[in-house]
Amino acid sequence: MSGAGGAEQDPRGDLHRALAQGARLLGENPALAEAQAAEILKVMPGQPDALLLLARARRRGAGPAAALEVLEPLVRSRPDWAPVHLEAGLALAELGEAAAALAALRRSTALDARNPHAWRALADLLAMAGDEAGAEAAAAAELRASVTDPVLVAAATALGDNRLAEAEHMLRGYLKANPTSAPALRMLAETGARLGRVDDAEAILAHCVELAPGFDEARHQYATLLYRQNKPVEAIAQLDRLLARDPRRPAWRNLKAAALGRIGEYGQAIAIYDDLLKTHGDHPKAWMSYGHALKTVGRQADSIAAYRRSLALSPGLGEAWWSLANLKTVRFDDQDLAAMEAQAAGSELSDDDRLHLHYALGKALEDRGQWAASFDHYARGAAIRRRQVRYDPDLNAQRRARAEALYTPAFFAERAGWGCPAPDPIFVVGLPRAGSTLIEQILSSHSQVEGTQELPDIISIAKRLGGGRDRDGEAPYPAVLATLSADEVRALGEEYLERAGVHRKLGRPFFIDKMPNNFAHLGLIRLILPNARVIDARRHPMGCGFSAFKQHFARGQAFSYDLEEVGRFYADYAGLMEHFDRVLPGFVHRVFYEAMVADPEGETRRLLDHCGLPFEAACLRFHENERAVRTASSEQVRRPIYAEGVDQWRNYRSFLGPLEAALGPVLETYPYR
């Protein structure tokens, strides 16, 4: 190669510049990157780096099969070159050849343990395959490989060993001297998230990707945290930036599908899963996620098939067994029962797989009328889950007391006319398994009402207002509400409507927020949205309590894994609702599940009257409504009202002594309040 005027130049320098230019083009225009590689190969046929660039460009453009045409002979000629095994692993993964992809990525990391991209690709593939332990180990190795500074290597090692306080101390010290170090910020965010300081972790990651926009691993970590924080819109925005750079990355596509489901875009989510599973059909958790989405839109047969495919790939995947049981319509046969019992008897299961299997076995044996054996499995599953969650019934009682002390007739009288006046929201509150999904389905069958889902927004606002503890150790929420101005209160109501707006697809004047735990925030709701309607779904305390106990919830409801704690929670809930009945008469309309079963039309008319809606016969045909339903009752509300579940708890009464004792006077007054 020669430059202007024929002056001789270093061909190695020319090659380096040409390859660097091709690498820059990869993320912007793979076709131009491929052309750049071809030009280099015209001058230097067989040049390995140019061939690798050509393969990388083809994978992003023409596709992984075209990339492998280049990679396979390159692997044979350079078997000890780590980068070619990495690129082959990525291409094989996109083609769905998981075993070959894993082998290639493991070969790459064995040859070069300092390449973080290879470890990240391996972690993603192992996570898709359901190997959580392997994925965590690879992710820890990726963190160590992403840094060279001895302090950061030591911090990454401490983080990988779960020595979180030590890792945090090292990272904070390092960042004092190097405040713009993106790798250190990323590790500090990971440390904070594991310590439960997720808001801090979110802020750190936002700063990290602002400093280093091309730091894909940090952006993926940020998107994952946003998703877990119930911020799916924000997560999708980050994932779209990633997918613009590499649209075929399986882990990114999988997370986007899950986030789309959170905002009700089930069609888009299912389309991603359809495409993903064409090439990653041997990943059991991907099939399980696909089954969840199909269940939500009412494709029950397809969802069952997806769950079954998941189990064929991973018979010990407890969540897939529970997902089948949780449809409430599947009856396990003898072969299923034997398979579940064999898996539950094994010693290698994770706690999560084991507890899900216990819940599934509880349901299978309940369907067979084997009450004692069924209860034993429910109790064993609940005991495992109780060890995993943080819940203090005394703190819950204190929250109730603080709410009752603040929310008086005078409090609301002094703030009359405050808040956002929009009447759009209808809040359906109560305890889980009390009939709230049935109420939602009835209301959403009305032409003026749209059903959304259990929205996290009221709880998020309350959490933000709480913000921590004051000097006396008392949580400032809800007392902080007394310090807000009229403008601040109105702004909160408007914020809620804006956040909920992403879930409104049909343009109807009213929408339902079915988050049951919003009962604890009725004072906040009344203050910021004074014209909202509130429906309290109420069910017999024993039936509701036991139904919650035998239900494994994907998240939240930490009170539900101990019978005594269930009873105390129900009593506190009922007491708080009675308080609001006295303070704000008529604000809450109560629907007793047993009354709805006994007189559907009468109860439906009273429900619609409270919401200011004219009667529509479609509300009585709610089971014909084809809307997506995410909750555990999704299949039950696609059938007419049935009475057989009302007294089902009585089969277990001899086991429910702790629940009955904790409920106390609430049992005597039901259903009068």
Higher-confidence position of 356 and 24: 356
Q: Per-residue pLDDT averaged across 316-339, rounded?
A: 94
> What whole-number percentage of the chain has pLDDT above 90?
66
| 428 within 8 A of 533, measured Cβ to Cβ | no
Domain boundaries, given as residue ranges, for the chain: 418-466+479-669
Q: Per-residue pLDDT averaged across 329-358, rounded?
A: 94
Q: Is 90 exceeded by the pLDDT of residue 429?
A: yes
Distance CA 545, CA 360 (A): 19
Q: What are residue 425's DSSP bridge partners?
A: 511
The number of helix segments (H) and strand segments (E) in the chain equals 34, 5
pLDDT digits (tens, 9 = 90+) for 214-232: 899 999 999 999 999 889 9
CATH number of 418-466+479-669: 3.40.50.300
Eight-class DSSP state of 2: B
| Helical pair 600-610 and 436-444, crossing angle rounded to 10 deg | 70
| 383 within 8 A of 346, measured Cβ to Cβ | no
The SS3 of residue 206 is: helix
Range in 185-189, 550-554, 596-600, 645-649 the model is least confident about: 645-649
pLDDT at residue 360, as a whole number: 97
pLDDT digits (tens, 9 = 90+) for 262-274: 888 999 999 999 9
Backbone angles phi, psi at 577, to 5 degrees: -65, -40
Q: Is 50 exceeded by the pLDDT of residue 8?
A: no
| pLDDT band for position 466 (cuts 50, 70, 90) | confident
pLDDT at residue 7, as a whole number: 43
pLDDT digits (tens, 9 = 90+) for 601-614: 999 999 999 999 99
| 37 within 8 A of 22, measured Cβ to Cβ | yes
Q: Per-residue pLDDT averaged across 620-630, rounded?
A: 68
What six digits make up the tokens of 170? 């090292």
pLDDT at residue 1, as a whole number: 41
Q: Per-residue pLDDT averaged across 149-178, rounded?
A: 91
Instruction: Compute the mean pLDDT over every residue in the chain, rounded to the nearest whole number.
Output: 89
Task: Using DSSP bridges, classify how beta strands 449-453 and 425-430 pair: parallel, antiparallel or unpaired.
Answer: unpaired
3-state secondary structure 374-411: HHHHHHHHHHHHHHHCCCCHHHHHHHHHHHHHHCCHHH
pLDDT at residue 397, as a whole number: 94
Q: Is 50 exceeded by the pLDDT of residue 637?
A: no
| pLDDT band for position 15 (cuts 50, 70, 90) | confident
pLDDT at residue 661, as a whole number: 96
Distance CA 497, CA 504 (A): 10
Higher-confidence position of 165 and 556: 165
Question: Is the whole-model pTM more than 0.85?
Answer: no
The residue to which tokens 């400093």 are assigned:
211
| pLDDT band for position 2 (cuts 50, 70, 90) | very low
| pLDDT band for position 475 (cuts 50, 70, 90) | low
pLDDT at residue 13, as a whole number: 64
| 130 within 8 A of 284, measured Cβ to Cβ | yes
| 513 within 8 A of 528, measured Cβ to Cβ | no
pLDDT at residue 139, as a whole number: 84
Q: Kindly state the greatest CA–CA separation across the chain.
A: 101
Distance CA 178, CA 175 (A): 5
| pLDDT band for position 62 (cuts 50, 70, 90) | confident
Q: Is 50 exceeded by the pLDDT of residue 4?
A: no
| Helical pair 284-296 and 116-128, crossing angle rounded to 10 deg | 60
User: Closest by alpha carbon to 390, among 143, 527, 565, 218?
Assistant: 565
Q: Per-residue pLDDT averaged across 178-196, rounded?
A: 92
Vertex 204 angle, CA 200 and 206, to 5°: 115
pLDDT at residue 312, as a whole number: 95
Distance CA 553, CA 555 (A): 5
pLDDT at residue 285, as a whole number: 87
Q: Per-residue pLDDT averaged across 376-389, rounded?
A: 96
pLDDT digits (tens, 9 = 90+) for 68-118: 999 999 999 999 999 999 999 999 988 888 889 999 999 999 999 989 889
| 671 within 8 A of 592, measured Cβ to Cβ | yes
| H or E, element range at 453 | strand 449-453
Give the Å distances, CA to CA, from 519 to 403, 615, 663.
11, 26, 18
Range in 139-148, 291-300, 334-343, 550-559 the model is least confident about: 139-148
pLDDT at residue 641, as a whole number: 61
Distance CA 439, CA 410 (A): 32
Q: Is 90 exceeded by the pLDDT of residue 485?
A: yes
